[in-house]
Amino acid sequence: MPTLYLNFFIGLAVSFLGTLPLGVLNITIMDVSLKKGIHAAFRFALACALVEFIYSYISVQLTKSIMDFPALRAVTEVVATITLLGMGIYYIHKRNGLASSKQKPISSFYLGALLSILNVVAFPFWILYTTLLQSKGLIGIEENELILLYVFGISLGTIAGLLPFIYGSRFLTNCVTSHQHRMDRMIGFLFIFLAVCQFVSLWR
């Protein structure tokens, strides 16, 4: 049976990896770090983590409802496979160019909270992954303590995933501008690899 520690570390690991692909939050936090400094970037990351805690907790509760209907498990795994494959294709064919983030004159904390709240894709992301991890016996969501440690790990994983963009903002901005397509293709192939693994798992 999954332990509290396993729930925490798996939540942290999945959240960390899910935060690394370039998106609005990563690009914006690099801009915040460059223009306002590291402390402002940490406030931005903290806001992202707090919103992620709430979103992931709600997603886990929705996942528990899905798990009450065993017939939906296979459907969820198929949807997860298709989603991973779609994300892989998207990143492989994603166009070059680093989007510029236009910041409004608001605090970094509120900016991070606003952008995270608008990131509603977090709901299907955590529903799919929580369902998959629970079906594989890697995490438990039966008890409230397990859920809280899982979503706490997710929150810390969000901060951990943003740290490289905070401290490496100067280097990463130039690197992303020059090698974004190459990085996107690597991420895309990783998603396709995960989709293949999930497809093989479905046939076993």
Kindly report, residue by residue over 138-149, the tens digit of the pLDDT: 898 888 999 999
Distance CA 88, CA 194 (A): 9
Q: Which of 30, 66, 37, 56 is nearest to 155 (CA)?
A: 56
Evaluate if residue 1 carries a pLDDT over 60.
no
Structural tokens at position 174: 């130039």
Contacts of 34 (CB under 8 A, 6+ apart): 169, 170, 173
pLDDT of residue 79 exceeding 80, the answer is no
How much of the chain, in percent, has pLDDT values that exceed 90?
Answer: 29
Using the structure block, give the residue that is written with the tokens 């090698």: 179
Query: pLDDT value at position 24?
Result: 76
Residue 173 falls in which region: left (phi positive, over 0), alpha (psi -120 to 50) or beta: alpha
pLDDT on residue 65: 80
Q: Supply 154's token pair.
A: 């997710």
Give the alpha-carbon dihedral of 138, 80, 57, 66, to 10 degrees: -90
pLDDT computed for residue 26 by the predictor: 85
**Position 11 pLDDT exceeds 70:** yes
Domain parsing of the chain, residue ranges: 4-203
Q: Which two tokens stand for residue 175?
A: 């690197």
* 54 within 8 A of 120, measured Cβ to Cβ: no
Q: Looking up tokens 């709600």, which residue turns up?
A: 58
Q: What is the pLDDT of residue 200?
A: 75
Task: Give the pLDDT band of residue 154 (cuts 50, 70, 90).
Answer: very high
pLDDT of 45 reads 96
Asked whether 111 and 28 are in contact (CB, 8 A), the reply is yes
89 band by pLDDT with thresholds 50, 70 and 90 = confident
In whole angstroms, give the CA distance from residue 184 to residue 173: 15
Q: Token pair 């995960």 is at which residue?
A: 194
Question: Percent of the chain at pLDDT above 70?
Answer: 74
Residue 100 pLDDT level (bands cut at 50, 70, 90): very low
| pLDDT mean over 35-50 | 93
Listed residue (97, 99, 111) closest to 33, CA to CA: 111
On average, the pLDDT of the chain sits at 80
